[in-house]
Amino acid sequence: MRTHRSPTCHEETMNYHQYYPVDVVNGPGTRCTLFVSGCVHECRGCYNKSTWRLDSGVPFTQAMEDRIIADLNDTRIKRQGLSLSGGDPLHPGNVPDILRLITRVRAECQGKDIWLWTGYRIDELTAAQREVVELINVLIDGKFVQDLKDPALIWRGSSNQVVHHLR
């Protein structure tokens, strides 16, 4: 269990912008979806510029982490899994909290899948980012490229991005 950290201590705690406990848009089936703060990619045409700053949004607290675990295990509304987007969940400043969250999902939420959207390409991930990828089911990678935008694409905005079904 992680130790309590001050909610004002932004440099130590991941921030997030939105949490949707019941979401049918971001990934297959009914899901819990978390949009985290922080992204370095600065894609032209980004629809979510307000999430770029790592210290935007609100702190991702222990209570939020516990709530996501509880929501995934809620039998009244069955969730297929967890979607992680942003911002960028693989921003180096987010990796420790994301790793802790998905390690708990793996241990405590049997049968739930984890989808993650990142602006990094899978072949340029650091060792720490790859630790996260080892625990997820599907990675959608790459920056959003406006010239390659195609509304017909599923789960991705531009055709350079790839939906990697990892396991």
Beta strands in the chain (DSSP E): 15-23, 31-36, 58-59, 81-85, 113-117, 138-141, 162-165
The nearer residue to ligand SF4, 50 or 103, going by C-beta atoms, is 50
Give min distance, CB of 39 to ligand SF4, in A. 3
Give min distance, CB of 46 to ligand SF4, in A. 3
The nearer residue to ligand SF4, 46 or 135, going by C-beta atoms, is 46
Q: Phi/psi at 119 (nearest 5 deg)?
A: -85, -10
The nearer residue to ligand SF4, 16 or 144, going by C-beta atoms, is 144
Beta strands in 10-161 (DSSP E): 15-23, 31-36, 58-59, 81-85, 113-117, 138-141
Binding site residues, ligand SF4, CB under 6 A: 39, 41-43, 46, 48, 51, 86-88, 119, 143-144
Give min distance, CB of 88 to ligand SF4, in A. 5
Give min distance, CB of 85 to ligand SF4, in A. 8
